[in-house]
Amino acid sequence: MKTAIVTGGASGIGLALARELRGHGVHVVVADSDGEGAGRAAAELGCAGAALDVTDADAVRDLVAKVRAGHGRLDFMFNNAGIAVGGAAEEFGLDHWNRVIDVNLRGVVHGVHAAYPVMIEQGFGRIVNTASVAGVFPAPLMLPYTTAKHGVVGLSLALRAEAAAHGVKVHAVCPGFTDTPLYDRVNPGLPQTAVSANARRSAELVAPFLYPAETLARDVMRGIARDRALIVAPASGRTAWLLTRLSPALAVRAASLGVRRLLRG
């Protein structure tokens, strides 16, 4: 049976991915910093759960080794865990920057560092890193998040070029505004800002229709089946990505308009 680890799997996009994988007959290990939440998700899906802090490289390595030893293989490593921050650049302290980089970028690095050698050795596997449309578009008012997600996209594309020689596939998932609990946990454990205090409302001003996580998970599985390097969804996200590719200057102008709309709202 194919086996997958999904970090950040207790809720939101991670839980939707775990459900979708289970629907495809994959054995899933739901890993999350919320150990109780991971256990509840695992019980619902009939799979395994694990408490995991992705900023702890040794813990990530140990989980990958345990799954590989127990099942003889690791087919999918979904580096999905992440946190959200919101606010103007001048409102962020170094604690905001360091926390987001530690979880959203370094956490992906830890997952890659643990899973990639295993997949090279077995000659197959897929590493799926959750980035964001903020990783392919100059998304303002969340600068540490945007920076980290651009890093995830760059890491994924460069690793994909190397990994092909070993039979390993790498994908970056770039969701647009998706309906997840992340909007209710912006700047977790960090100083709040004008944007973070009402993050869900801010998101709805930009994107009145928040994309269902379950629909995104199906998009991700289709993208994996089609071996897409970047899986960007929904259509509004692909439009933002295309705009940035065609005219970075115009993309920045569009982002500036969005800032003014949010500040007025």
d(Cα 79, Cα 220) in Å, to the nearest integer?
13
CB 126 within 8 A of CB 116: no
Question: Residue 97: CA atoms inside 13 Å, Cβ hemisphere, count?
Answer: 9
d(Cα 260, Cα 24) in Å, to the nearest integer?
44
CA 169 → CA 64, 90, 101, distances in Å? 17, 39, 24
| pLDDT score of 232 | 98
For 156-206, give the DSSP string: HHHHHHHHGGGTEEEEEEEE-SEESGGGGSBSTTS---TTGGGHHHHHHHH
Distance of CA 130 to the CA centre of its chain: 3
CB 11 within 8 A of CB 37: yes
d(Cα 30, Cα 4) in Å, to the nearest integer?
9
| pLDDT score of 58 | 98
pLDDT tens over the chain, length 265 residues: 999 999 999 999 999 999 999 999 999 999 999 999 999 999 999 999 999 999 999 999 999 999 999 999 999 999 999 999 999 999 999 999 999 999 999 999 999 999 999 999 999 999 999 999 999 999 999 999 999 999 999 999 999 999 999 999 999 999 999 989 888 888 889 988 877 666 666 666 566 678 999 999 999 999 999 999 999 999 999 999 999 999 999 999 999 998 887 777 5
| pLDDT score of 206 | 60
The verdict on domain 3-264 having CATH code 3.40.50.720 is: yes
CA 98 → CA 5, 24, 28, 265, distances in Å? 25, 37, 30, 29
| pLDDT score of 208 | 65
| pLDDT score of 132 | 98
Cis peptide before 175 (omega within 30 of 0): no
Has 211 been annotated as catalytic? Answer: no
| pLDDT score of 196 | 65
Amino acid identity for residue 157 in this structure: L
